């Protein structure tokens, strides 16, 4: 009877070990940023801006529902990217501030989405600057000098000079 209980317990332990998932390998944060976060942020930043050139000064902003939807969709995607950056696959080996930066992206992206859904071009412009600041703050901590140089080529915030939205 004792042997049966021991075998049953051993079997349960072995089955439990088989059901455990292996930890996810660390994700390629740089690739994720370059392929997803940066172009999506750029879509948001490109929705509302000012131009001053030889033709004069003018404001660029969404002109129809489809363009406003594109802007709000970009903000919603940034929010989901912030959630993804908080997962162990992306946060493994990072400091506690990584979670804070990721949450900052989530929070400011929610404001960005709200501004776009309200079709408030002044607010989209203002919140876009705050998105930029959240990105820049994280990049100041987590980008190496070589990564900053490479990121500056694509206009990533905090990667180099003269790359404001």
- Give the CATH number of the domain where residue 124 resides: 1.20.120
Domain span holding position 141: 28-152
pLDDT digits (tens, 9 = 90+) for 42-99: 999 999 999 999 999 999 999 999 999 999 999 999 999 999 999 999 999 898 899 9
Q: What is the model's pLDDT at position 48?
A: 97
Flag whether 10 is in a domain: no
pTM, to two decimals: 0.76
Flag whether 3 is in a domain: no
Number of domains making up the chain: 1
In this structure, are residues 68 and 113 in contact, taking their beta carbons and an 8 Å threshold? no
SS3 percent helix, strand, coil of the chain, rounded to 5, is 70, 5, 25
């Amino acid at each position: 009877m004792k042997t049966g209980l021991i075998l049953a317990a051993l079997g349960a332990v072995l089955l439990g070990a088989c059901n455990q998932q292996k930890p996810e390998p660390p994700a390629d944060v740089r690739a994720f940023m370059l392929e997803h976060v940066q172009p999506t942020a750029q879509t948001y930043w490109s929705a509302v801006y000012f131009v001053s050139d030889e033709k004069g000064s003018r404001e660029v902003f969404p002109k129809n529902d489809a363009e406003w939807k594109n802007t709000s969709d970009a903000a919603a995607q940034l929010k989901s990217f912030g959630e993804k950056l908080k997962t162990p696959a992306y946060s493994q080996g990072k400091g506690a501030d990584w979670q804070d930066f990721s949450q900052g992206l989530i929070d400011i992206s929610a404001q960005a989405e709200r501004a776009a859904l309200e079709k408030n071009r002044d607010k989209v412009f203002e919140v876009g600057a705050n998105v930029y600041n959240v990105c820049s703050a994280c990049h100041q901590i987590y980008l190496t000098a070589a990564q900053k140089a490479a990121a500056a080529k694509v206009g990533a915030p905090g990667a180099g000079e003269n790359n404001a939205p």
